[in-house]
Structure 1
Amino acid sequence: MKKFLLGTVALIAFAAPAAAADLAARPYTKAPPAPIAVVYDWSGFYIGANGGWGTSRKCWDFVDPAGAFVAAEGCHDADGGTVGGQIGYRWQAGTWVFGLEGQGNWADFQGSNASLFFPGVRNESRIDAFGLFTGQIGYAANNVLFYIKGGAAVTADRFRAFDIPTGIVVATTGDDTRWGASVGAGIEFGFAPNWSVGVEYNHLFMQDRTHTFVDPTGAFVGDDRISQDVDIVTARINYRFGGPVIAKY
């Protein structure tokens, strides 16, 4: 029995190296390729649409023909909706994005107050349209863009005075175009290679301006110096002509 066990052990010891030698060599496997990341590029021309809400603070002061203050007529807010479009161009340098944009909107910002100086008269203000011509500076976190903007603004205004009991127009300026300045900020999210959505705020500094009022026959009624600032919040969607940059890590 001892002899049998010793022989078996010897046979196993002899066979083990031979079996190991017969095993196939371990195949070589190539390392997986480095990952490829899509880097969103904001460069290129774009066109889009926007819509939202705006409000304008107006204060009326009655003045003499020389422009000297006579009496305050009161203030009101002109509020309402707006819809329009924008077109622009952006170029990206690293994480910084620079751009130029033109925007035009129809608006319906209306408001009124009873005159504090002319009893029985209600003063009404209205903005029918506005435009912005601005430059942009932004910071891109891949497909999210944070930016500030500033430039010129223009509004199409209308000012009228009504007789409160009858609602008849007693004085008007007709249509008026007023130029000023604009500053704003926004955030935009690229949800597809060429599409982005965002939210934007703009403040318009339209300064004070003296307007001449006439009655329905065209006869001179008086002058009012009217101040105007405008605040606008809009949601935007843009289509950009171009595609993403493919970069390898």
Structure 2
Amino acid sequence: MKKFINVPFGAVLAFALAGPAMAQDASVERNWSGPYVGGSIGLAKPDHDSGETLVFDTDGDGQFDNSVTSGGSDIFTGYCSGRSASGAAADGCVNDRTGTNWAGIAGYDMQFGNIVAGVVAEGGIADVTDGVTGFSDEPGSYTLNRRLKENAALRARVGYAMGNTLLYATGGGAYGRINNRFSTTNTANDFADTGNSNAWGWTAGGGVEQRIADNFSIGLLYKYTSLDPKDYDVTVTQGSAPATGPFTNTATTSGQTLIARGSDKFNYHTGQVTATYRF
């Protein structure tokens, strides 16, 4: 709970400290046109997909539309969001992590009457995870976890200026560098994954910005981001398991099995406090 309090409290404190400056300069309406630089800090929270599963390619056709079977029955008995708590299905999963998100920003605005339009670029570091675990009756747990690290976006924004206050909507293209990780309690088969991935997508949201001096403003920003980290999978080969094991049995597979996530999307929410300097 403490993490969820920090950012709103920090935002309130920032506005409270800015109150005297705003009160002193409230009669001065400043134009929003021109370039600016600044930064933001806040929290990033994954958009949990509780219905996500693992998917499998057992026949080597590149389509993840098969089941891993033993004796004609699917060996996977359940899934949960996050990483396995203990390896046992009965203990479920540890929830995905909400983490920090900070970025440097640079942009340019033009004001037309009360309408302000511009473009902003941002890039920084996030720390948010998104996992899914499948449990089999062999038994075993299989977790595919991805962690967003570097991220960036190029956004347009359009707003309405009320003197020194700007309300705006924003949206554009987004990028993320994803660290992928696979873990399992299966020590018999061998596993190899395709490593980290680059993800492209979009982001949209809105915010408020308050001028508190000729060249300085602070604000709050909410964004929803959807990334598509494609082409991550795990290849399962025989290892020390019997050749007739469910992942490599040539009667039901091509001799190996590929595991991937049921959802390609990595979606997350961010709430940030912003500060900018205008030239």
Q: Tell me whether the two structures share a fold, i.e. TM-score over 0.5.
A: yes
* 1:84 and 2:122 aligned: no
How far apart are the structure 2 equivalents of 1:150 and 1:82? 18
Does the 8 Å contact 2:173/2:200 carry over to 1?
yes
How far apart are the structure 2 equivalents of 1:233 and 1:171? 36
Does the 8 Å contact 2:53/2:133 carry over to 1?
no
- Report the Cα offset of residue 70 of structure 1: 3.5
Instruction: Go from structure 1 to structure 2 and tell me whether the alpha carbon gap of 1:233 and 1:70 turns closer, same or farther (over 3 Å shift).
Output: farther
* 1:158 and 2:167 aligned: no
How far apart are the structure 2 equivalents of 1:212 and 1:114? 14
How far apart are the structure 1 equivalents of 2:232 and 2:195? 10
1:146-179 Cα offsets, whole Å, 9 max, x none, are 000111011111221113499xx95443221111
Q: Read off the aligned partner of 1:239 and give its amino acid letter.
A: Y
Does the 8 Å contact 1:154/1:177 carry over to 2?
yes
- Residue of structure 2 in register with 1:51 after alignment: 41
Higher strand share: 1
- Residue of structure 2 in register with 1:63 after alignment: 56
Count of aligned pairs: 199
- Residue of structure 1 in register with 2:266 after alignment: 228
Q: Read off the aligned partner of 1:104 and give its amino acid letter.
A: G
- Report the Cα offset of residue 123 of structure 1: 2.7
Does the 8 Å contact 1:113/1:123 carry over to 2?
yes
| Structure 1: runs of 5 or more not aligned | 1-36, 242-249
- Residue of structure 2 in register with 1:16 after alignment: none
SS of 1:114's partner is strand
| Structure 2: runs of 5 or more not aligned | 1-26, 68-77, 83-95, 237-255
Does the 8 Å contact 2:159/2:168 carry over to 1?
yes
- Report the Cα offset of residue 210 of structure 1: 4.1
* 1:100 and 2:119 aligned: yes
- Report the Cα offset of residue 214 of structure 1: 5.1
- Report the Cα offset of residue 208 of structure 1: 7.1
- Residue of structure 1 in register with 2:81 after alignment: 75
How far apart are the structure 2 equivalents of 1:208 and 1:95? 39
Does the 8 Å contact 1:61/1:74 carry over to 2?
no
Q: Read off the aligned partner of 1:160 and give its amino acid letter.
A: R
How far apart are the structure 2 equivalents of 1:73 and 1:211? 19
Does the 8 Å contact 1:61/1:70 carry over to 2?
no
The alignment's TM-score, normalised by the length of structure 1, stands at 0.71
Deviates more, 1:59-68 or 1:101-110: 59-68
How far apart are the structure 1 equivalents of 2:185 and 2:103? 34
Structure label with greater radius of gyration: 1
- Report the Cα offset of residue 38 of structure 1: 2.6
Does the 8 Å contact 1:160/1:173 carry over to 2?
no
- Report the Cα offset of residue 89 of structure 1: 0.3
**Moved beyond 6 Å, runs of 4+:** none
Superposed counterparts of 1:1-249, under 5 Å: 38-56=28-46, 57=48, 59-64=52-57, 65-70=61-66, 73-76=79-82, 77-117=96-136, 119-164=140-185, 171-207=192-228, 209-213=230-234, 222-225=258-261, 226=263, 227-241=265-279
How far apart are the structure 1 equivalents of 2:210 and 2:228? 34
How far apart are the structure 2 equivalents of 1:170 and 1:52? 36
Aligned-residue Cα RMSD (Å) equals 2.6
- Residue of structure 2 in register with 1:13 after alignment: none
Does the 8 Å contact 2:153/2:175 carry over to 1?
yes
